[in-house]
Chain A
Amino acid sequence: MPIQYYIYLALALFSIGIIGVLVRRNAIIVFMCIELMLNAVNLLLVAFSKMHHGVAYATDKASTVGIDGQLFVFFIMVVAAAEVSVGLAIIVMLYRNTHSVDVNFLNRLKN
């Protein structure tokens, strides 16, 4: 597949994530849109890693060029899992204190 198709797909997914973060007020859905953006980036990293691998694969079938991209995706998933556990704990705390998960209530942190 031409690499441009993957770039456009990942950009579209990332933009949908951005729109979701800006449009919705439910903190859980905002959080889910952040996950969507992370996944768009992961998809693009894997596509680029396969692009670089394809060049080396033509001459040497056993080369491991491009493996760093896939390991980056693995570490992004690790960080995302840690982030979700802390973030959902914060949302649960927010709900316990305000009985709502509306992000607009968070401007109370000002005073």
Chain B
Amino acid sequence: MNITHILFWFLSALALVSAMMVVVSKNPIHSILWLILVFFAISGHYILLNAQFLAIVNLIVYAGAIMVLFLFVVMLMNLNKETEQQKNVWMKLTGVIAGGCFLVSTCNVIFNAQSVSRELAGKTALMKEGSIGLIGTLGKALFSNYVIPFEISSVLFLSAMVGAVVIGKKD
């Protein structure tokens, strides 16, 4: 049980507990804060896997920009009261059962199916080593093999920006 294992289990537990609190919290502000904690835990996992660029981008884009946008919208609407109407208990139970069935069936496939478990047996993710997560290597690949998708994503951002302005405009 070395430090990597301890960190892995700690971050996994943190991510799962915070994710459950996102769903359970009554107050939307608390949900957002718990979701930020999930993103921090996932960034920790990226650092453990030596994907440093993605860890930083995850923090800046998700925890920094997107969640602040969510907080702004919640505060703009003054929703931080607990006014949400609840679904009736049968609908909630059905939702939990549906999600649980998905989890159980997919875990069962990973655990029991012969072809999948033979494929995955003994495979490990390389921790704390390897250079593919570093910004230099990723940048070279991004601007050589993936330069067309990269440029297209800028068009996507432009259209998203125009779309957000057009939808949000008061008329």
Contact = CB atoms under 8 A, between A and B. Distances in A.
Do these two chains really belong together in a complex?
Answer: yes
Interface of A: 1-9, 11-26, 28-29, 31-33, 35-36, 39, 42-43, 46-51, 53-54, 57, 61-62, 64-68, 70-71, 73-75, 77-86, 88-93, 95-96, 101-102, 104
Contact of A22 (B49, B85, B95, B167): B95
Contact of B31 (A18, A32, A49): A32
Interface in B112-171: 120, 123-127, 129-133, 137-138, 141-142, 146, 149, 153, 156-157, 159-161, 163-165, 167-168, 170
Given A13-B38, A46-B51, A84-B66, 8 more contacts: A1-B8, A3-B125, A22-B95, A29-B31, A46-B46, A48-B125, A50-B132, A78-B157
Contacts of A31: 70
A91 B74 CA distance: 10
**Chain B interface secondary structure, helix, strand, loop or mixed?**
helix
Given A23-B95, A51-B123, A36 B19 contact: yes
In the complex, the 6 A-B pairs of residues with the closest C-beta atoms, listed nearest first: A22-B95, A54-B126, A19-B99, A82-B160, A15-B103, A20-B23
Interface of B: 4-5, 8, 12, 15-16, 19-20, 22-23, 28, 31-32, 35, 38-39, 42, 45-46, 49-51, 53-54, 57-58, 61-62, 65-66, 69-70, 73-74, 76-77, 79, 84-87, 91-92, 94-96, 98-100, 102-103, 106-107, 110, 120, 123-127, 129-133, 137-138, 141-142, 146, 149, 153, 156-157, 159-161, 163-165, 167-168, 170
**Chain A interface secondary structure, helix, strand, loop or mixed?**
helix
Given A36-B38, A85-B160, A16 B19 contact: yes
B16 A86 contact: no
Nearest to B170: A96
Contacts of A24: 23, 84, 87
A83 B120 CA distance: 34
Given A23-B23, A95-B77, A39 B38 contact: yes
A25 B86 contact: yes
Contacts of B129: 57
